Amino acid sequence: MISLLLIGFVMVALWQIPSLVRTGWWKEIIVFMVLWSAGLILSVIVSMGIKLPPISTIINKSITGMFGI
Amino acid sequence: MFLEKGKISNFQLSVLIVGFVFGSSVIISPGGGAGHDGWIAVAIGLMEGLLIAWIFTALAKQFKDKTIIEINSLIYGKILGKCISVLFIWYLFHLGALVLTNYMHFFNLQIYPATPKTVELLLLMLVCASTVGRGIEVLARLSIILVPLTTLLIISDTFLLIPHIDLSNLMPILDVPIGKLLLASHGAASFPFAETAAFLMVLAFVDKPEKGPSAVFRGLLIAGFILIIVVARNAAVLGQMAEITIYPTYLAAQVIDIGDILTRLEVVVGINLITMGFIKISVLFYGTVLGLAQILNLRSYRPIILPVGILMVILALTNVGNTLEMFEFATKGYPVYAVPFQIGIPLLTLGIAKLRKIPPKGEGNI
């Protein structure tokens, strides 16, 4: 599963980066790499079965607790 | 700064608004909590939604050709403006992920129980990413095809359900305590009507900006009117069941049986969710990537489409623990959580713009 994920992410990078390098859009490459890396790390975590905190549930608990809904 | 060169007509904007409002409302009835008076809650929610739309369209009209990100930088200054813009972008991103979560839970529970959730999400996200990459014009043109078709399907479903409608299920009218009704109304306003505040990222690309507000109101009124009929129809067909089921529209469509030939039409509801969910997610996805590109001063939003799409899918997968938690969030937490984004930021920005007289009179575009 993780190897499939890595192949997918490498394909995305290979599809985007060469054209960005050719045009010399370095800022766009940096932003792309930051977002791509975040996506890769989180995807690996999720595929390994590690539970990420459910954001909407946390927001809901905070709001209902705060306002006594 | 023009990251988007496309222009859409006011008619396309209206149709896009209708598709956006339908979004996940084609499966989840707004106005939950008001029982069989849900349709009244939706009607009041529509009025609140129109009031909120008046605020954000007034802001967009004052700053023609500018998205909320550019407006924030003008009003609050570079740093504070970008901080407020990041919050707005987070809302678009989170809302997009929530629609994806709705889509995933519905299909996983009702239609494709054996298909992995990731596959369901990735397939839809790829289509959305492809559309967003082609710009707002393509999305608007697609909505011209998809929204009338979906509307036709919803109206056909309603006509086919006429033999099963029992108007006594809607009686007594206004049976719910007024406080509960108003809470349900606000819930209906925050989901889906006031979510159109996301169009603060789109209104800058309307070819006749002075007519933008009327196009938004037209779209909201058409979608609202159809949703009122759908909610009333569901309550009239299902009775008490409409209040306790998660997907009343889907359950109501299961009742359709015309001479044992025209049956199992509930799958039409699933198709409606695919098409309208696609439009809503695409608008939110477009707003997210365009906004992010504007905040970071990028030359194009296209390079960040795929990574942002992947992050949206991850958030959709981990957003909530289960379907019930999602519904608890939608009915309890979300109407409060959405207020700063739907009303707070547009109202505050409009108020400051009026006080500081930005832009100066006669300069609609600065």
pLDDT in tens, A26-64: 999 999 999 999 999 999 999 999 999 999 999 999 999
ipTM: 0.96
Mean pLDDT is lowest, of B136-140, B145-149, B172-176, for B172-176
- In this predicted model, what pLDDT tens digit does every residue of B310-325 receive, in sequence order? 999 999 999 998 888 9
Residue of B nearest to A36 (CA): B307
- In 3D space, the residue among B167, B176, B161, B181 whose CA is nearest the CA of residue B239 turns out to be B167
Q: Which residues of B touch A15 (CB under 8 A)?
A: 306
Whether B282 is covered by a domain: the verdict is yes
Q: Which residues of B touch A53 (CB under 8 A)?
A: 318
Predicted pLDDT of residue B155: 95
Closest in B101, B299, B332 to A28, CB measured: B299
Residue B59 contacts residue B353 (beta carbons within 8 Å): yes
Whether B361 is covered by a domain: the verdict is no
Whether B3 is covered by a domain: the verdict is no
CATH number of the domain to which B228 belongs: 1.20.1740.10
Structural domain range at position B165: 10-352
Predicted pLDDT of residue B1: 47
Q: Which residues of B touch A67 (CB under 8 A)?
A: 336
Consecutive H or E run containing A40: helix A26-47
Structural domain range at position A28: 2-67
Our CA-based measurement puts residue A52 at a distance from the nearest CA of chain B, in whole angstroms, of 6
Please list the helix, strand and coil fractions of chain A in percent, rounded to the nearest 5, in that order. Answer: 85, 0, 15
Region of B297 on the Ramachandran plot (φ > 0 left; ψ -120 to 50 alpha; else beta): left
Per the structure, the count of domains in chain B is 1
Whether B1 is covered by a domain: the verdict is no
Whether B2 is covered by a domain: the verdict is no
Closest in B292, B314, B326 to A39, CB measured: B314
Q: How far apart are CA B213 and CA B13, in angstroms?
A: 10
Region of B54 on the Ramachandran plot (φ > 0 left; ψ -120 to 50 alpha; else beta): alpha
Does residue A52 belong to the interface with chain B, where contact is any CB pair within 8 Å?
yes
Residue of B nearest to A51 (CA): B318
At B192 the three-state DSSP class reads: coil
Per the structure, the count of domains in chain A is 1
For residue B262, the cross-strand partners are B258
Whether B4 is covered by a domain: the verdict is no
Does residue A16 belong to the interface with chain B, where contact is any CB pair within 8 Å?
yes
Our CA-based measurement puts residue B243 at a distance from the nearest CA of chain A, in whole angstroms, of 19
Whether B175 is covered by a domain: the verdict is yes
